[in-house]
Amino acid sequence: MNSHHRFIYVVPMGDIGDEYLNSMAESIEEQFGLPVKVTVNQGLPSYALDAGRQQYNSNLILKSLIDNAAPDALKILGVTNGDLFNPIFAFVFGEAQFKGKGAVISSFRLRGNPDSESATKCPPLISRLEKEAIHELGHTFGLKHCADPDCVMQFSVGVECADRKFSFFCPACRELMLWHLGTDLFLRA
């Protein structure tokens, strides 16, 4: 395996606890079989703040993550507590470059409304963050949404905090992910 471009970077941006970052890093290493580096916290991405909406433009964050990528980064995942939007959606849990290098996720909407009735049924925030991280990184490896309800690549709209049951790939998605991973490493060799 090529020794360059083989780390998945996790870039904290804002108020995300170390225990969350460590747990996410472990889960990513397990699912993708690649080592993870967690960088120093960059603070909230003020360059991407839309003052009128008080939300952060996920496209601008992706651009910055990729512009500033470390030379040995195969993929980069930004993790923020800021509320994300993009030109198409009023808010997003996360966004990724399909078959690209960058992804970003936010804990903001994943926290859900603690006063709502469904809140007690929510899995813990850490497990929601892990699933969102694996899902968005899956897109960077060329995976599309999956119809298997047990697969981390399943997509469901508007379900507050309970959208993804499992943090792992179905057999088909896993095989495709490994194939794309091999292609990625080969192309950069």
Q: Which residues are catalytic?
A: 136
CA distance 33 to 28: 8
CA distance 11 to 57: 16
Binding track over 129-168 against Zn ion, x by CB under 5 A:
-----------------x-x--x-x---------------
- Select 83 or 148, whichever has its Cβ closest to Zn ion: 148
Count of residues touching Zn ion (by CB under 5 A): 6
**Token duo for residue 110:** 């994943």
Select the span of 44-52, 84-92, 123-131, 173-181 touching Zn ion (CB under 5 A).
173-181
Nearest residue to 152 (alpha-carbon basis) of 168, 128, 137: 168
- The yes or no reply on residue 84 touching Zn ion (CB under 5 A) is no
CA distance 177 to 18: 28
- Select 16 or 151, whichever has its Cβ closest to Zn ion: 151
Measured CA to CA in angstroms, residue 148 lies from 49, 164, 168, 174 at distances of 36, 11, 11, 12
- Select 21 or 133, whichever has its Cβ closest to Zn ion: 133
- Select 8 or 92, whichever has its Cβ closest to Zn ion: 92
Only one residue has tokens 């690649």, namely 34
Runs of H (alpha helix) within 35-75: 58-67
- The yes or no reply on residue 176 touching Zn ion (CB under 5 A) is no
Collapsing DSSP to helix, strand or coil, 11 comes out as strand
**Token duo for residue 125:** 């925030």
Name the minimum Å distance from CB 115 to Zn ion: 28
Name the minimum Å distance from CB 176 to Zn ion: 8
Name the minimum Å distance from CB 46 to Zn ion: 26
Judged by the rule CB under 5 A, the positions of this chain that interact with Zn ion are 146, 148, 151, 153, 170, 173
